[in-house]
Structure 1
Amino acid sequence: MNGDEYRAVLRRLTALDATAAAHRAEAVAWHEGRVAAADDAVRAADDAVREAAGAVRAAQRDLEEVDARAAGLWSDFVHRVGPAAERFGRTVPQPAVPRQRGELTTDDYLREVAAKIAYTPPARPLTGATTTVFAMFGVVGGLLGVAAHQLLRWAGTAAGGDWAAGLPVVALIALVLSPVVAVFAAKRVADRRGAELNAAAITTVLVSGLVTAGLLVAALGGG
């Protein structure tokens, strides 16, 4: 190998070494870039996981809040409706997806339910049949009052002594209060039927009760 050939070989080796060095540098740069990209992807994934975990916790808190509000609304509904609510179950019914209406949120649906539960329909006006029912309450109250009156007077007479003086007073009080007790009974019935127990209805119960009691006491010949 002469000198020219030797120099040519050296030039080729030098060129190959430079090419290899460039390839090595490119490979190192590519590797570092891939490592950096992988690190960025891992950090982004970690951030996404933390964000998702936070969203899950927030959703769980929202769910618990909605469940608590729903339980409170159900309790109010059962309190207002009474045993009739048991046809929907003894506990809060399972949640269902409501019919979607625009952009309504959970709060909107809960407020709507609360408004429906809080709504009190206007009392129905008194009819002739209702007035008759109230009058019958007064009559029954008067009958019970007379029965209690006669029983207490008999017990006082039979016992003698202080009882003979005290029980007739108690009997008179029971006789007078019996129409008042009938008013409370009529009020419960009126509430269940959605009727209004106004002053006229109360007067009907009291007058019918007092008249019944007075007539019976007069007929029995004792006061």
Structure 2
Amino acid sequence: MNQPVTSETYAAQVRRLADLSDRVRTQRAEAHTWYDQQCAAAERAVDEAAEQLRYAEREAAEARELVERVDAEAAHLWQALRARLGAGARRLGDPPGPALSATGDPLLLLHGVRGLLDRTRQPGELPASTNPLLALCGVLGAVLMFALGAGARALGTSNGGDLAVGLPVLGLVVTLLGPLVGLAPAKLLADRRHAVLSPRPVAVVLGAGLVTTALLLVLTR
């Protein structure tokens, strides 16, 4: 048979049970507190990561805008350089790509390039010393077109029929265009000298071409 439990032993067991219950409640409270702290820390970490992500996205968007702006400005400056060089710009090719070793603010670098282009020599007028070359352009253009016109007239005369009527008219038109043809080599000359065809060079070319055409027409009558 079971031995009866004394009151002292029962009281000790109750106290022990109470102590264990207190320890369990304390540990449970500590566990809940630790869990809440971990959840709060995780939420803070998620919020910080989300903020960093938004910041990175803003930086990426700003970087893309900067790249597009730099590319557009570089292309514009490259076209300006090609315009300054004239006919020699064909050797430049396409705009160069970004330099991997470049440092500093690209907008400041582009601003410096823009200032350098602004300080370069603007296309001026051909000097008076080129007048003989300009006159020669007019003469050569007139002679070339007169020869083509004479060939058309001779071809019409030799064939007869409708060609005998149309080709002489075409030859006359071609001959009269002679002074204008001289402007093409004159433009090449101006491009090589980084200059523009102002009214004076154009007048020299046209004057020489008109005089040459008139003389040729008079001499071949």
**Same-fold status (TM-score > 0.5):** yes
Distance in structure 2 (CA, Å) of the matches to 1:75 and 1:20: 81
Partner Cα separation in structure 2 for residue 40 and residue 133 of structure 1 = 87
Q: What does residue 92 of structure 2 align with?
A: 85
Measure how far apart 1:198 and its partner are.
0.9
**Whole-angstrom distance in 2 between the partners of 1:32 and 1:62:** 45
Mapping of 1:154-169 within 5 angstroms?
154-169=154-169
Q: For 1:96 and 1:152, locate their aligned partners in 2 and report how far apart those are by CA, in whole Å.
A: 61
Counterpart in 1 of 2:111?
112
What corresponds to 1:216 in structure 2? 216
Structure 2 partner of 1:94: 98
- Output one character per residue of 1:183-209: Cα deviation in whole Å (capped at 9) or x when no partner: 244335424542021111110110111
Q: Distance in 2 between matches of 1:159 and 1:73?
A: 61
Which runs of structure 2 are paired with 1:60-209 in the superposition (5 Å)? 60-73=60-73, 75-76=75-76, 81=82, 82-86=89-93, 90=94, 93-96=97-100, 98-100=102-104, 108-109=107-108, 112=111, 115=114, 122-191=122-191, 193-209=193-209
Deviation track 1:110-169 (CA, whole Å, cap 9, x = no partner) reads 973895799695222321343333222212211212111211111111122332233222
Aligned pair in 2 of structure 1 residues 183, 153: CA closer, same or farther (>3 Å)? same
TM-score (norm 2): 0.70
CA contact (8 A) 1:78 1:85 kept: no
Q: Distance in 2 between matches of 1:117 and 1:85?
A: 18
Matched, 1:28 2:35: no
Summarize the Cα distance change of 1:177–1:113 in structure 2 as closer, same or farther, 3 Å threshold.
farther
Question: Match for residue 3 of structure 1?
Answer: none
Distance 1:35 1:43 in 2: 12
TM-score, scaled to structure 1: 0.70
Pair 196,28 (structure 1): closer, same or farther in 2 beyond 3 Å:
same
| One-letter amino acid of the counterpart of residue 202, structure 1 | V
Amino acid at match of 2:201: A
Structure 2 residues without counterparts, runs of 5 or longer: 1-6, 83-88
Q: Distance in 1 between matches of 2:112 and 2:131?
A: 35
Contact 2:126–2:193 (CA under 8 A) maintained in structure 1 = no
Deviation at 1:9, TM superposition (A): 10
Whole-Å separation in 2 of the counterparts to 1:177 and 1:153:
15
Change (3 A) 1:141 1:98: same
Match of 1:41 in 2: 41
- Structure 2: distance between partners of 1:159 and 1:123: 51
Letter in 2 for 1:94: P
Q: Distance in 2 between matches of 1:95 and 1:21?
A: 73
User: Does the 8 Å CA contact 2:125/2:197 hold for their aligned counterparts?
Assistant: no
Secondary structure at 2:177 match in 1? helix
> Conserved in 2, the CA contact under 8 Å of 1:73 and 1:114?
no
Aligned length: 208
